Amino acid sequence: MIEARAASLLWFPDQAGITGAGLPAGAVFPVRAKARQTPEAHVLMIEDDSSIAEMYRLQFEHDGYRVTVATTGELAVSTLSGSEPDLVLLDLLLPDRSGFEVLVTLNERFPNHPPVVILSNYGEPSMIDRGRALGAIEYLVKSRVTPADISEQIPGWIEQGRRRGRKES
């Protein structure tokens, strides 16, 4: 009934977009089980703060994902030209341009780009709306989620991206 995970997400989770579009609490474990079945899903993390990037990498690799980190928007775009990750985690404050600009570039240059999830320190409603309008499938405030919370949701996001891709084609 009372699930422990809620305690860590308690204040104003709607601003992070978790509860509205997020997973029902009960679904967490099945999703995680599925994650194990996906072999070597590839996550591209666009993040300039190395302490955060390393932390996430540790968690994701532990959970069986392949992780590439791009520290600038420029690097992210060139990485995307060379490889085809299954999911993009996008920070909004980057040294060379904003995450929104990166997303716009992705939409223009790679119309079939993998699903994008925004991870930011800002939870302003206007920014969340903008991210969603640009096609991000999720917007999370970093301080409100643990690496495990993110990792657990990766298979769901990849699945969501696939369904969307099928619908479009």
Partner 1 sequence: MTQAAIVAQDLTALGFVSLGAAIAYRWYRDPVPAQGMLALALITLGAVAALGRIPNPPGVLSVVNVALFILSGFFVLLFRNEFVPLGRKALMGAYALLAIGIAVGIADVLAFSDAPQAVTALIGVLVITPWAVFVGEPIVRFWLESNKLPAVQRTRMRFLSSGFGLLIAIVFVAVVGGSALRSPAAIVLTQLVALAAVPVIYVSFAPPSLLRRIWRMGEENEVRAAMQDLLIFTPSRQDLAERAAYWAVRLMGATAGFVSDADGKILATSGVDSVSAARLLSSPSGQAVVMAPLHLTEGQGRLGIVSGPFTPVFGTDEVAQLRAYANSVSAGLERTRVTERMAALEDNKTQFLNLASHELRGPMTVIRGYVSMLEAGLLGTLNEQGRKAAGVMAAKVSEMNELLEEMIETARLEEGEVTVRAVEADLREIARSAAGVVAPMLQANHQLVMDLPDRRVRVKVDPDRTKTIIANLLSNAIKYSPDGGTITCQVRSRAGTARVSVTDEGLGITRDSMPKLFTRFGRIITPETEHLKGTGLGLFLGRQLARLQGGDITVASEAGKGSIFTLQLPAVGPVPFPVSNGGADGPHDPPVGASPRKLAGTD
- Out of 37, 39, 40, 51, the only residue in the binding site for partner 1 (CB under 8 A) is 51
Backbone angles phi, psi at 89, to 5 degrees: -105, 120
Q: Least distance (Å) from partner 1 to the CB of residue 104?
A: 24
- CA nearest 141: which of 25, 30, 19, 24? 19
Interface mask toward partner 1 for 104-123; x: CB under 8 A:
-----------------xxx
Task: Examine residue 64 and tell whether it contacts partner 1 (CB under 8 A).
Answer: no
Which range binds partner 1 by CB under 8 A, 34-42, 58-66, 101-109, 130-138? 58-66
Which structure tokens are listed for 148? 């495990």
Distances (CA, A) of 20 to 3, 23, 58: 17, 8, 28
Instruction: Tell me whether residue 1 or residue 169 sits nearer to partner 1 (CB atom).
Output: 1
Strand order in the sheet with 42-46: 66-70, 42-46, 87-91, 116-120, 138-141
Asked if 33 interacts with partner 1 (CB under 8 A), we say no
Tokens of 73: 């928007």
The encoded tokens of residue 60 equal 């994701």
List residues near partner 1 by CB under 8 A. Answer: 1-4, 6-8, 10-14, 19-20, 49, 51-52, 55-56, 58-59, 62, 121-125, 141-144, 146-148
